[in-house]
Amino acid sequence: MTRAVLAALALAALLTLPFVLRSARGPAAAAPESSARTSGAAETLVIMTPHNEAIRSEIGRAFRAHMARLGRTVEVDWRAPGGTAEIGRYLSSQFAASFELYWTRQLGRRWSPEIAASFSRPPPSPPSSSSSSSSSDVAEARRVFLTSQVGAGLDLLFGGGPTEFTLQAAAGRLVDSGIRQRHPEWFGPDGIPEQVGGERNWDREGRWVGVCLSSFGICFNRDALARLHVATPPSSWSALGDPVYRAELALADPTKSASVGKSFEMIIQSQVDQARRRLSAAGPTGAAALRDEATIDGAAVREGWTAAMRLIRRVGGNARYFTDAGTRVPLDVSTGDAAAGMCIDFYGRFQSEVANTTAGRPRMGFRTARGETAINADPIALLRGAPHPALALDFIEFVLSEEGQKVWAFRRGAPGGPERYTLHRLPIVPRLYDHAFDEYRAEPDENPYQDVRGFVYRESLTGPLFNAIAFVVKAMCIDPADELTAAVAALAAAHFPPRATALFDDVSAVDYATVAGPMRAALQSPDPLEAARLSAHLVGQFRAQYRRVAALARAEGGGA
């Protein structure tokens, strides 16, 4: 037994040592890059991304061709382990392992659970007044990490939305690439605006920059809609809560995909926006305090949050399944395995083109939830300790250049466009929306800089709760899915009787105050058991509620 254990440990060490050594390299990591240029050998760029094969293929091909025209041979080593949320967890674990090695081996310092939990977190505000040696070590570890070249053997993080990139930047894993210093004219009033519709397009400290734009909406299968006798394709989040879609929606787990999490966040943002409009229009009838903007905002958040939780539950109750990958949603909708689903725009448009070309008719479509979704930048960033920082900057420069933006935005076969796949991405550079390019763009009628439709994303409302929202959706809809769908079936069979429906719509367990307060605190705790205990309690509470709903619906409907 002992020999077997020792052999297993030796094998594990052998397999992990090359990566660990590569991850822990310091400033000397840039040396191979310069030697590759002078020797004529291929330069390799390592990119971590959630992007699909079509994007990796077209952007990689175009960048290699661009660099070849400059006399350089370049290869792109794509790392695509899953969705953005999974990539975030991977980066967290790899940087932690690398920094621990650096802290203990090179600096000869003692590692502790407090350092492990805190070196990648910004200090509390206001700072702790503790003068203990433990607190001092944590602060020192944070300072050392932010001035180190500790890395994960990766050059770039590419794709996934500003929320995840903001979190990675705050953790210290992203660094200024230098793109704004190289091309200051590309940013600001005469270039890429800092914001559109309340969403940031680039980080002021240069740690990330958007390279194209996205919105969120609904993909649908026209044959399936005809089968369900739905005459008008769904184009709003509330449409997906209609009982006609029971067991017909393809949805994804927001704890596994940041783009899916963003869709659920958009439901909340849109409901809060609608509540605020109602309250503002109501005037002082019986409540003069509502004339105060701050009071209106507070009431709108509470009212809109409750409406959103109810809608999310109804949408979840219509789910055919919750997949781990957001990319599966449009795939299953295209084949008719689901009638509709929530997805990011380019997934829906890309799969619609594939499905309609294959079928020879417009079988699948996609509609943006206009007025109910933000315009979201898709960023790129240089990772701390990147082995090839200069080549990484060249790549960032390319994808933001007019040449690179045409690959994102143009139809397949258009001059300067992609060769094999139309990517259906909206360019972030405003110049690409000039009418001179209309005949080449894959989406000539889309202009996010003119089409916000009054919707303004308010980061302060839901941005800090992004992970908590995903947690709520999982606890409320995914983990108790059997009980939820049974409750919805019982309600539908009884024609939604009032008492059972009212119980179903009770979302007090996840009201705004609870999620923004104790739930968020539990999820931020360094003790993972705290979140696990909260999840178990919440899932159990929802399961019991759904069983009561089903029983009450049967009783009210006269069923057994």
| Residue 220 is assigned to a structural domain of this protein | yes
| Measured CA angle at 18 (ends 13, 22), to 5 deg | 135
* 11 Cα distance to chain centroid: 36
Answer whether 348's CB lies under 8 Å from 259's CB.
no
Are 415 and 537 within one domain?
A: no
Tokens of 453: 């439709």
Are 45 and 154 within one domain?
A: yes
Answer whether 542's CB lies under 8 Å from 476's CB.
yes
**Residue 104: per-residue pLDDT:** 96
Reduced to 3 states, what is the DSSP secondary structure of residue 381? strand
Peptide bond into 379 cis (omega under 30): no
| Residue 448 is assigned to a structural domain of this protein | no
Rounded to whole angstroms, the Cα distance separating 461 from 458 reads 6
Answer whether 225's CB lies under 8 Å from 353's CB.
no
**Residue 8: per-residue pLDDT:** 44
Give the count of beta carbons closer than 10 Å to the beta carbon of residue 31. Answer: 11
Q: Contacts for 115-124 with beta carbons within 8 Å, 24 or more apart? A: 115/141, 117/526, 118/142, 118/526, 119/145, 120/92, 120/95, 120/96, 120/145, 120/171, 120/172, 120/173, 121/170, 121/171, 122/170
Are 274 and 408 within one domain?
A: no
Answer whether 197's CB lies under 8 Å from 457's CB.
yes
Residues linked to residue 156 through DSSP beta bridges, in sequence order: 47, 382
| Residue 109 is assigned to a structural domain of this protein | yes
- The closest alpha carbon to 427, from 457, 402, 454, belongs to 402
Helix spans in 102-161 (H):
113-118, 133-146
160: left (phi over 0), alpha (psi -120 to 50) or beta: left
| Residue 450 is assigned to a structural domain of this protein | no
Are 386 and 496 within one domain?
A: no
Are 130 and 220 within one domain?
A: no
| Residue 74 is assigned to a structural domain of this protein | yes
Determine the structural domain holding residue 132 and report its residue range. 18-213+378-432
Tokens of 452: 């916000």
Q: What is the total count of domains within the chain?
A: 2
Are 298 and 403 within one domain?
A: no
Cα dist. 526→27, 127, 130, 487 in Å? 31, 18, 18, 36
Give pLDDT < 50 ranges for the chain. Answer: 1-32, 125-132, 286-290, 560
Tokens of 187: 């940013």
Are 225 and 303 within one domain?
A: yes
Are 383 and 414 within one domain?
A: yes
Rounded to whole angstroms, the Cα distance separating 545 from 553 reads 12
Tokens of 251: 């949805």
| Residue 5 is assigned to a structural domain of this protein | no
Are 248 and 367 within one domain?
A: yes
Answer whether 190's CB lies under 8 Å from 135's CB.
no
| Residue 9 is assigned to a structural domain of this protein | no
What phi and psi, each to the nearest 5 degrees, are found at residue 411?
-70, 155
Cα dist. 333→221, 252, 328 in Å? 6, 13, 9
Residue with tokens 């769904």: 234
**Residue 20: per-residue pLDDT:** 38
Residues 6+ apart with CB under 8 A from 552: 497, 499, 500, 503
**Residue 122: per-residue pLDDT:** 80
Query: CATH no. for residue 145?
Result: 3.40.190.10
DSSP 450-479: T--TT----HHHHGGGHHHHHHHHIIIIIT
Are 209 and 301 within one domain?
A: no
Are 160 and 192 within one domain?
A: yes
**Residue 47: per-residue pLDDT:** 98
Tokens of 129: 């007044």
Reduced to 3 states, what is the DSSP secondary structure of residue 130? coil
Rounded to whole angstroms, the Cα distance separating 480 from 539 reads 6
The one-letter code for the residue type at 413 is: G
- The closest alpha carbon to 363, from 335, 344, 331, belongs to 335
Rounded to whole angstroms, the Cα distance separating 273 from 300 reads 7
**Residue 342: per-residue pLDDT:** 95
Residue with tokens 């409406």: 307
Answer whether 549's CB lies under 8 Å from 507's CB.
no
Are 273 and 350 within one domain?
A: yes
Q: Give the β-pairing of 195-196 and 364-368.
A: unpaired
Helix spans in 283-438 (H):
293-317, 328-335, 345-359, 389-400, 402-409
Rounded to whole angstroms, the Cα distance separating 341 from 86 reads 21
Tell me the whole-structure pTM to 2 decimals. 0.80
Rounded to whole angstroms, the Cα distance separating 546 from 487 reads 5
Rounded to whole angstroms, the Cα distance separating 445 from 451 reads 10
Q: Indicate the burial class of 288 (C-beta count within 10 angstroms; 0-12, 13-18, 19 or more).
A: exposed
Answer whether 365's CB lies under 8 Å from 343's CB.
no
| Residue 49 is assigned to a structural domain of this protein | yes
